[in-house]
Amino acid sequence: MSFFAITRATLAKDIRLEWRSKDAINAMLFFGLLVVVIFSFAFDPTAEESRRIAGGLIWVAFLFAAVVALNQTWARELRNQVLDAYRVSPAAANPLFLAKALGNFIFVCVLEALMTPLFIAFYKLRALGPAWELAPIALLGTWALVINGTFFAAISLRTRSREIMLPLLLFPISIPALLGMVNATTAVLSGEESAWFWIALLLAYDVVFTTVSLLLFELVLEAE
Amino acid sequence: MRRGFTLLALATALLLSFALYEALIAAPTEQTMGDVQRIFYYHVPSAWTAFVLFLINFVSSIVYLIRRNPKADILALVSAEVGVVFCTVVIVTGPIWARPVWGIWWAPGDIRLTTTLVLWLIYISYLILRRMSTGGRTPVIAAVVAIFGALDVPLVYFSIWFFRTQHPSPVIGGGGSLDPRMAHVLLINWAAFLCLAWLLSWVRCELEVATRRVDEAQALESLRESSR
């Protein structure tokens, strides 16, 4: 099978499973909703203040919610030794990784699309800068979280208490990406400065870590 | 081997005490900051030593992935551990100096402060991973994570480069003017700290080798028990 055929097959399988069980998306959505509600109790901002802090709040909420989905990425493949079967099959490692990352990307994007209206309602948000720039920021930022998250979820499979290990690995490495997302979003919302430096930074982050993940994933999968 | 170790330990002790005398008594007092500035002789050499150790960690992780030599893995582990110790010294001495001089303990958004802090966080998560991971795969996944961490550092640096920086510019090669007497004391302290780092890494390496030998022996022993 070719690279894209394996990617497509795995991705279709994951989406079908998720569509039928809705395990990850339900847990993520409810978790995200809880974060929004708790933040709204913790801060009671005016419109001006909320514009300054909203970028941080939104991305921290998405980051926490994404971890819920990322933790379940590989757990499904451990049941019935699916991952071991994949390992002994002649299929390459990278299409599997890419399919998992794309699946998580789709789940987190769905989450963001559903959560953003809530944020707008709770924090009375209105962008003063060019609002269309939020689309590339969201796509690049989500990919940055998901590519490393999928990779580190595979690494934490090899550890004790893997659900704790994933955020411990993911958060420190994601700091530059988070800085980029938060500052770009704040720049657009407040309209005071250009967001393009941060978008370029996110792009660089995505390119670097997508390349490294694809180069090193085979080592992680075969690490026995 | 034994003799080399004793010699290094003696040299480190001598060099450290000489560096202490130089830093606290012999070095001239800084004009505006006064004696507080003397912490600089510990802060800067610790930072350079930590960066050298993290570089060793990065290189030996790559070497391990290529050659699969257990020695490279031990070197990676040890340099990360000792590097975290020196990096902690940097992060603790920085605020002690900043409080009287800047009036604040910590300058969020400063390029060197934040980069060092993120570096510290990354290597602590690396050490936690090594502690938590199970079985014989630890070296491979640890090496992979070390490469991720090292690649993250330039990105952190550029992301904070955009902020205004408060930290004094680098004293060597940064256009800053450092009294030659102070530079001399700084270099002596760096030499002493490098020796100390080398000594600590040496002890830690031997400990790690012994631990692995004991683990292997125990595994063999239990294998023999079970086959009997």
pLDDT by position in tens, chain A (length 224): 788 898 999 899 989 988 998 888 888 899 888 888 888 788 776 767 777 788 888 899 999 999 988 988 888 888 888 888 888 888 888 999 999 999 999 999 999 999 988 888 887 777 787 888 889 999 999 999 999 999 999 998 888 887 889 999 999 999 989 989 998 998 888 887 888 888 999 999 999 999 999 999 988 888 65
Query: Per the CB < 8 Å rule, is A204 touching B147?
Result: no
Interface test with B, best of A59, A87, A166, A173 (most B CBs within 10 A): A173
Query: Per the CB < 8 Å rule, is B141 touching A155?
Result: yes
Position B171 pLDDT exceeds 70: no
In degrees and rounded to multiples of 5, residue A29 shows phi and psi of -60, -45
* Contacting residues for B13 by C-beta, under 8 A, at least 6 apart: none
ipTM for the whole complex? 0.87
Nearest to A158 among B121, B133, B148 (CB): B133
The CA distance from B111 to B99, in Å, is 18
Q: How many domains does one find in chain A?
A: 1
Q: Give the residue from chain B lying closest to A165, CA to CA.
A: B129
CA-wise closest residue to A156 among A54, A66, A73: A73
Nearest to B145 among A169, A197, A201 (CB): A169
Position B81 pLDDT exceeds 90: yes
pLDDT given for residue B169 in this prediction: 58
Interface test with B, best of A145, A159, A178, A207 (most B CBs within 10 A): A159
Residue A127 contacts B where some CB pair is shorter than 8 Å: no
Distance from CA of B83 to the nearest CA of A (A): 17
The encoded tokens of residue A172 equal 């420190």
Interface test with A, best of B62, B159, B162 (most A CBs within 10 A): B159
Residues of A within 8 A of B140 (CB-CB) are 219-220, 223
DSSP H or E run through B101: helix B70-102
Q: Secondary structure of chain A in the HEC alphabet?
A: CCHHHHHHHHHHHHHHHHHHHCHHHHHHHHHHHHHHHHHHHHCCCCHHHHHHHHHHHHHHHHHHHHHHHHHHCCHHHHHHHHHHHHHHCCCCHHHHHHHHHHHHHHHHHHHHHHHHHHHHHHHCCCCCCCHHHHHHHHHHHHHHHHHHHHHHHHHHCCECCHHHHHHHHHHHHHHHHHHHHHHHHHHHHHCCCCCHHHHHHHHHHHHHHHHHHHHHHHHHHHCC
pLDDT given for residue A204 in this prediction: 93
Residue A161 contacts B where some CB pair is shorter than 8 Å: yes
Residue A220 contacts B where some CB pair is shorter than 8 Å: yes
Q: Is B80 helix (H, G, I), strand (E, B) or coil?
A: helix
CA-wise closest residue to B57 among B193, B149, B141: B149
Q: Per-residue pLDDT tens for B83-142?
A: 999 999 999 998 888 888 888 888 776 777 888 899 999 999 999 999 988 777 889 999
Q: Does residue B113 or residue B196 have the better pLDDT?
A: B196
pTM over 0.95: no
Q: Per-residue pLDDT tens for B177-189?
A: 677 788 888 889 9
Q: Which domain holds residue A110?
A: 3-222
Query: Per the CB < 8 Å rule, is A176 touching B159?
Result: yes
